Amino acid sequence: MPIRRFGGHRSLVPYSQTSKLSYGYTKMNISRSDYRVFSANSSTACTELAKRITERLGVQLGRSVVYQESNTETRVEVKESVRGQDVFIIQTIPRDVNTAVMELLVMAYALKTSCAKNIIGVIPYFPYSKQCKMRKRGSIVCKLLASMLAKAGLTHIITMDLHQKEIQGFFNFPIDNLRASPFLIQYIQEEIADYRNAVIVAKSPSAAKRAQAYAERLRLGLAVMHGEAQHSESDMADGRHSPPLSRTTAGHTGLELPLMMPKEKPPITVVGDVGGRIAIIVDDIIDDVEDFVAAAESLKERGAYKIYIMATHGLLSAEAPILIEESAIDEVVVTNTVPHEVQKLQCPKIKTVDVSLILAEAIRRIHNGESMSYLFRNITVDD
């Protein structure tokens, strides 16, 4: 057997083995890296969805500490190694939106500096999604948030029912916009007696496509409401009449532009027959419920004998539970993308549909490199 020297000492080791030992080129059978699932919420109520997802995946929730200092600064401590692993951050958005966003950013950056291989944000309700269009002298805050998440280290996002699908264009990394409609449709079929006598209602013309998708899948009729107050679209005075429309200037007569007529909201009208039927209003977000309450009263006046509201994200801010309880609405069905246990205690009309199954399956498929198309089967461009 050939003799090789190591540091002045002789060794009876074969050349084939010593070459591997001396240069460290031993080839190892490295299996696919494991993954970790963390919750970035400091509130216990917000970790419920994360626990449901990890139970379905059969893994433990990652050990971390998220809390606010006495001066309300957010601090995150990751208590286990994530080097070279796929890491999923589940972040549900409570009423304190800005704190939740900061928790997500700090958690993502902590994992990035801990050498995680991929950092995937699981954000069922994407915050600031209503601020995705330019409003006069405002800003597109949703685009700003997308840039901040990318800078913090996120490489992929899983979300559900974005307020506008075009928001996906704000990101320079992949984003999977899952749908809650299969779970809500299943609830209608299993929990609403005589749902065949129902009609799907769009609360506004802008929600008609969503309502049409529900109606076609359930083989039901469609009604569209028009005339309700749309505060987000209101043209309020903001000082844009400067310089004045007509101004006398020496040597210049000015431009005579056509005058834009101001909007005038018509009385609430319903296009479609709801008399003697169950009315099911569908939308993506239910937050301030004044419009929903007014729509329910209008539908009752036109003969609907039961009013249901189906929405993916139940924010239910301010006095929403009390207003729902005192209204003509019979039931409000939302998913658990946003924690609303307190609101359910205030209003027993609020029901919850669990969507942890599809979120857990999305996590599993992304980690294993499997196709996501199964989760989008029968989903069209207009859904």
Strand partners, 202: 224, 282
Q: What is the pTM of this model?
A: 0.83
The amino acid occupying position 129 is S
Report the distance separating Cα 375 and Cα 149, nearest Å.
24
Report the distance separating Cα 273 and Cα 275, nearest Å.
6
Report the distance separating Cα 293 and Cα 274, nearest Å.
16
The percent helix, strand, coil of the chain (3-state, each to 5) is 35, 20, 45
Say how far residue 146 (Cα) sits from the centre of its chain.
13
**Per-residue pLDDT, 241:** 46
**Per-residue pLDDT, 380:** 80
Taking Cα atoms as reference points, which of 382, 5, 361, 367 lies closest to residue 183?
Answer: 361
Say how far residue 274 (Cα) sits from the centre of its chain.
31
**Per-residue pLDDT, 261:** 79
- Which residues, 6 or more positions from 362, have their beta carbon under 8 angstroms from its beta carbon? 122, 158, 176, 178, 372, 375
Taking Cα atoms as reference points, which of 106, 122, 95 lies closest to residue 35?
Answer: 122
Fold matches, 35-178 and 182-229+267-353? yes
Architecture of domain 182-229+267-353: 3-Layer(aba) Sandwich (3.40)
Residue ranges of the chain with per-residue pLDDT less than 50: 3-32, 229-237, 240-242, 246-249, 251
Statement: 35-178 belongs to CATH 3.40.640.10: no
The residue written with tokens 């949703």 in the block is 142
Report the distance separating Cα 257 and Cα 271, nearest Å.
36
Q: What are the domain boundaries of the chain?
A: 35-178, 182-229+267-353
Burial class from Cβ neighbours inside 10 Å (0-12, 13-18, 19+) for residue 277 reads buried
**Per-residue pLDDT, 157:** 97
Give first-to-last CA distance, the chain, whole Å.
72
